[in-house]
Amino acid sequence: MLIRAAVLEEFGAPLLVREVELAEPRAGEALVRLAACGVCHTDLYTASGADPSGYAPTVLGHEGAGVVERVGEGVSSLAPGDHVVTLFSPQCRECVHCRSERTNLCLAIREQQNKGYLPDGTTRLSSKGEPIRHFMGTSTFAEYTVMPEIALAKINPEAPFEGACLFACGLSTGLGAAMNTARVEAGSTCAVFGAGMVGLGAVIGCRLQGAERIVCVDLSEERLGLALAHGATETLVGGQDTVERILELTDGFGADYTFEATGNVAVMRQAVESARMGWGLCTVAGVAGKGETLEIVPRYLITGRRVAGSSFGGVKGRDGVPQLVERWLDGEFDAESFVSHRLTLDEVNRGFELMEAQDGIRSVIELS
């Protein structure tokens, strides 16, 4: 079928919204009609050419939500009409990682997915016979996509798509960092660095876990205001003295849990140093630039601080995303409040501009 999609043809150039060919789902795959898709940093990172593992031509987008239209042979967990959130982090439920409680990093389709291919090593997207790759295995800046069954989370059909799509990346990453990776204990003190989609998700996650104090640090007063609305108890404008100020707020000890959601390695260091001696845990969710390293004075570790990384918030997508969506629908937090701009597919490049200008938390493309 012919569909409209936002194609990255040349790094550094605007995405081109045009018709491409999408083939029928093969065994283990499903055709999804997309309804909404958030615009995230990773899309821009690849579009700009800064990502050394980037490839083109490809259809970008990975924060999608929509409806299953058709399924390929052997698909048993999905049926036409199901509402789904797309997962760049799949869950096969069979590999050694899926069978462990300790990680969400499914190994099943990793190699092909990293190269932009579906699990059988081919693409369903093409143009004039030339293959177009599936960015992050999702390619959701499009009217339709074909994805593996193991990379689609079936959600409550009552969830509005606009809010649901945020669970495909940033929101689940923040929530999960607090709930799965750090497993914040009730009554604890937390410090969250960054109040974008990921940081605000972490603030909510800390609140849902019953944290007593949640200090949020950002450069933007406006974003710190949002953090307070979502459950932060104190805010700080970030700077050179952030660590000292967090220590002052915590009787000189630091926070039980710290979260880094900026992608800046200097802030990651602050997050490590703001964690409490003895048991403080720093969870890093931000993605640093190519070649950057995180400096840690080893004394911080010897004296009992720990550092953990978190991809997609440690959420096993097919099991975890539907549960997070239920908590949203139960009114425990407001996912739709993060949708600051609604765009058409043709306006996708505007979504990148808004993100660069830090205008709003998330722009969402409305697809159908």
Q: Which residues contact ligand NAD (rule: CB under 6 A)?
A: 41, 169-170, 173, 193-199, 217-220, 223, 238, 261-264, 267, 285-287, 310-312
41 is catalytic: yes
Q: Residue 68: enclosing H or E segment and its boundaries? A: strand 63-71
* 67 in Cβ contact with 33 (< 8 Å): yes
Nearest distance, CB of residue 130 and Zn ion, angstroms: 27
Helix axes 265-273, 242-249, angle to 10 degrees: 30
* Active-site residue, from 37, 46, 83, 92: 92
Nearest distance, CB of residue 169 and ligand NAD, angstroms: 5
**For residues 133-192, which are near Zn ion according to CB under 5 A?**
169
The one-letter amino acid at 277: M
Q: Kindly report the CA angle at 162 between 149 and 5, in degrees rounded to 5?
A: 65
- Neighbouring CB atoms inside 10 A of 38's CB total 30
336 is catalytic: no
CA 292 to chain centre: 21
Q: Quick one: 196 or 280, whose CB is closer to Zn ion?
A: 196
62 sits in the region (left: phi over 0; alpha: psi -120 to 50; else beta) called alpha
Residue 98 binding target from ligand NAD, Zn ion, none, CB below 5 to 8 Å by type = Zn ion
190 is catalytic: no
206 is catalytic: no
Strand-pair partners of 281:
257, 306
Rounded CA gap, 346 and 368, in Å?
Answer: 13
111 is catalytic: no
Q: Which residue is nearest to ligand NAD (CB)?
A: 196
Q: Quick one: 102 or 128, whose CB is closer to ligand NAD?
A: 102
92 is catalytic: yes
The one segment of 28-36, 103-111, 245-253, 273-281 that binds Zn ion by CB under 5 A: 103-111
83 is catalytic: no
**Sequence-distant (≥ 6) Cβ neighbours of residue 353 within 8 angstroms:** none
Catalytic site residues? Answer: 40-42, 62-63, 92, 95, 98, 106, 110, 169, 362
* Binding region for Zn ion (CB under 5 A): 40, 42, 92, 95, 98, 106, 108, 169
